[in-house]
Amino acid sequence: MFASLLAAVLLTAAPGPLEVVKSGNTDVQKVASANGTTAEQLSKTVDRFVDFGELSKRALGDTWNKLTPAQRKDFSSTMEGLLRASYAQKALGQGKTQVQYGKESIQGNEATVDTTVNVNRDKFPVEYKLYRANEKGEWRIYDIVTDDVSLLETYQGQFRKLLSDKGFDGLLATLKAKRAQLEKSLR
C-alpha cells in the first residue's frame, strides 16, 4: 500500500527544473526540425515551458509597478509576440543540436540548469533560469544565459535606455515595430 501511494505521489508531482529543460529541448528540436513547421507550431511548443510574460515583467523592472493594468497587458502581449517571433526565427530549420545536461540548482522557488549545447562541433555553455509561483507550482523558464550573456539582462539594459530616451510609450512603439518586422519575416 505504501509503495503504491509513493508511486502515485511521484507520478503526480510536477517535473523538476532539469526535467522541464530536457523535455522542452527535446520537444523544440522535434518540432523545429520537422518539415513544414510554422512559427505558430513552434510557439505553442515553447509556451509549455517558457514564461515569456515573466521574462517581460522582470525585464521591465520597477517600471512594471508604475504601469496601469492596460499598459501591462499591452506591454506583455507585445513582448511575448516579439520573443516568440525572435525565438522561432532562430530555431526553425536549425536542425538537430546535441545538449549535455549538467547540474540543477534549486533555491526556494528559483532554479538554474546548466547545459552545454553542441552545434556544428562548437560548444556553448547555456544556463536556464527557472521559477515557480509557489512550492506546488510548475517550473517555468524565464531567462537563458549563453556564454555569460543573459537574455533578461540584455533586455533590461535596452529597456532602461529606451525608457530614458523615449519614455514608456516610445519603448512600446519600438517593440511593436520590431515585432511586426520579425513576424513579417517569418511568413
Q: Is 120 contained in some domain?
A: yes
**Does residue 91 form part of some domain?**
yes
Distances (CA, A) of 97 to 14, 119, 121, 127, 173: 26, 5, 10, 16, 35
In a domain, 2, yes or no: no
Q: Are 77 and 93 in contact (CB under 8 A)?
A: no
CATH number at residue 178: 3.10.450.710
Sheet holding 149-150, edge to edge: 98-107, 110-119, 122-131, 140-146, 149-150
- Position 86 scores a pLDDT of 83
Question: What pLDDT digit, counting tens, does each position of 39-53 carry?
Answer: 788 888 888 899 988
- Asked if the structure places residue 175 within a domain, the reply is yes
Residue 12 within any structural domain of the chain: no
Query: Would residue 124 count as lying in a domain?
Result: yes
The pLDDT of residue 10 is 43
Judge whether residue 7 has pLDDT over 50: no
Tell me whether residue 71 is in a domain.
Answer: yes
pLDDT number for residue 42: 82
Q: Are strands 110-119 and 122-131 parallel, antiparallel or unpaired?
A: antiparallel
When pLDDT is cut at 50, 70 and 90, the band that residue 142 belongs to is very high
pLDDT value of residue 93? 58
**What residues make up the domain containing 44?**
17-185
> What is the residue-wise DSSP string for the chain?
-HHHHHHHHHHHSPPPHHHHHHHHHHHHHHHHHSTT--HHHHHHHHHTTB-HHHHHHHHHTTHHHHS-HHHHHHHHHHHHHHHHHHHHHHHTT----EEEEEEEEEETTEEEEEEEEEETTEEEEEEEEEE-SSTTSPPEEEEEEETTEEHHHHHHHHHHHHHHHHHHHHHHHHHHHHHHHHHHHT-
Instruction: Identify which of 140, 103, 120, 137 has the alpha carbon closest to the alpha carbon of residue 20.
Output: 140
11 within domain boundaries:
no
Q: How confident is the model at residue 113 (pLDDT cuts 50, 70, 90)?
A: very high
Q: What local confidence, expressed as pLDDT, does residue 5 receive?
A: 37
Query: Measured on CA atoms in the order 24, 137, 155, 41, is the torsion positive or negative?
Result: positive
Q: How many domains does the chain have?
A: 1
